[in-house]
Amino acid sequence: MRAARRMAALVASGAAVALLCAATPAPPAQPVPFSHRVHAGDARIGCTSCHVYAERGPVAGVPSMARCQGCHKFVKEDPAHPQLDAQLKAFAKVLEDGKPVEWVRVTRVPDHVFFTHERHVLAGVRCQECHGEVEKVDAVRAVAPLTMGWCLACHHRKQREKPEARAKLTECVTCHK
C-alpha cells in the first residue's frame, strides 16, 4: 500500500518534471562554457560562495573573473578527464586574456516588479524552489514561469504559516513599489 503510494508520487513528480522541461525555454548559450553540475554538484561548492549577495541584497550576483581565478590558479588541468582537461585549458586562456566575461542573463522579472533575494534566502526558501536543481545540470535555464500568479501562490501558502507577520505578503505594494 505504502509502496503503491510512493510509486504514484514518483510517477506524478516525474510527470511534473517532464512538463516543466517541455514548458521551459532552452538555456541560452554562454560566452564561456561553465557547468553548475561540475562546480555545485561534483565539487560541492556552495551556491552563496559564488553568488555572494544572495543573503544580503536584492541581487544574488554572479562571480567576477577574479573569483574564478582565485580557485583556478590551483585547478588548471585534469589529465584523467580529457573532456574537462580541454575545457580547463581553454578556460586558462580566457583568464590569461583578462577580458571580462559577459554572462547571458537567464532569469528576470520586469522592471515594475520588486524582487529581493535576501528576504527569501533568510526566510529559508531554498534556491532550488525557484531555480530548480541547478547542481544537476550543466547549463542553467529558467524553470519557474516567474508570473505574478507563481509568486502569489507561494506567498499565500507562506502567509498561512505566519498570518500576522506576513500579512503584507500578498499586498500589491509588496511587489509593485
Contact map string, positions 33 to 62, toward ligand HEC, x by CB under 6 A: xxxx-xxx--x-x-xxxxx--x----xxxx
Residue from 6, 56, 76, 81 that binds ligand HEC (CB under 6 A)? 81
Residue from 110, 160, 163, 164 that binds ligand HEC (CB under 6 A)? 110
Q: What whole-number distance in Å separates Cα of residue 110 and Cα of residue 149? A: 14
60: which 3 cell numbers? Answer: 544574488
Among the listed ranges 4-12, 13-21, 78-86, the one in contact with ligand HEC (CB under 6 A) is 78-86
Contact status: 143 vs ligand HEC (CB under 6 A)? no
Contact status: 11 vs ligand HEC (CB under 6 A)? no
Nearest to 115 by CA among 148, 142, 145: 148
Q: What whole-number distance in Å separates Cα of residue 1 and Cα of residue 7? A: 10
Q: What whole-number distance in Å separates Cα of residue 123 and Cα of residue 158? A: 10
> How far is residue 123 from each of residues 119, 135, 155, 162, measured CA to CA in Å?
6, 21, 12, 12
For residues 99 and 108, which CB has a smaller minimum distance to ligand HEC in the complex? Answer: 108
Report DSSP state, residue 56.
T
Binding-site size, ligand HEC (CB under 6 A): 75
Is 162 strand, coil or helix? coil
Residue from 20, 92, 137, 152 that binds ligand HEC (CB under 6 A)? 152
> What residues numbered 122-141 form the site for ligand HEC, per CB under 6 A?
123, 125, 127, 129-131, 134-135, 140
Contact status: 13 vs ligand HEC (CB under 6 A)? no
